[in-house]
Amino acid sequence: DAKTTQPTSMDCAEGRAANLPCNHSTISGNEYVYWYRQIHSQGPQYIIHGLKNNETNEMASLIITEDRKSSTLILPHATLRDTAVYYCIPLPPFLSNTGKLIFGQGTTLQVKP
C-alpha cells in the first residue's frame, strides 16, 4: 500500500480557499487517490477521488501532479462546517483490492471566522 504524508494541521480563514496537500510518492500506477474527511466523532465522509486527471465536484477540486506523486484537495470557499480531519488515501481498483480504507494521520483543518 502506498504511504502518504500530510501536514498534521492547517488553519484557513472562513470564505477563503483551503488547499490541503498530500504526498504519495510511492503510489502505484493503478491506484486512485481518494479524499475523505471526518468531522468530530462523525462517520468519515467521502469527498472526491481521481486517478491522473484533475477532478471537481460540488464539494471540492482535486489537483494531481503529472508524476502522480502528490495531490492537493481544494475547498474553494471554506466554511466553519469544513473544520474536520482530512485523509488522503491511495486505493487500487476493486479487482486488486477489497475496497478497505487505510486511514493515515490526516490533516486537521481548522476554519476560523
Residues that bind another protein (CB under 8 A): 32, 34, 38, 41-46, 49, 85, 87, 91-95, 97-106
Q: Decide whether 42 or 53 has the Cβ nearer to another protein.
A: 42
- In this structure, the number of other CB atoms found within 10 A of the CB of residue 23 comes to 17
| Beta-sheet strand order (sheet of 70-75) | 18-23, 70-75, 61-64, 55-56
Q: What is the DSSP letter of 5?
A: B
Can you tell me which residue has the cell 471537481? 56
Q: Closest distance between another protein and the C-beta of residue 10, in Å? A: 17
Do 50 and 72 form a contact (C-beta atoms < 8 A)? no
For another protein, give the closer residue by CB, 14 or 32.
32
- Closest separation between CB of residue 42 and another protein, Å? 6
CB of residue 78 to another protein, shortest distance in Å: 22
The residue among 50 and 78 lying less far from another protein, judged by its C-beta, is 50
- C-alpha cell belonging to residue 10: 492547517
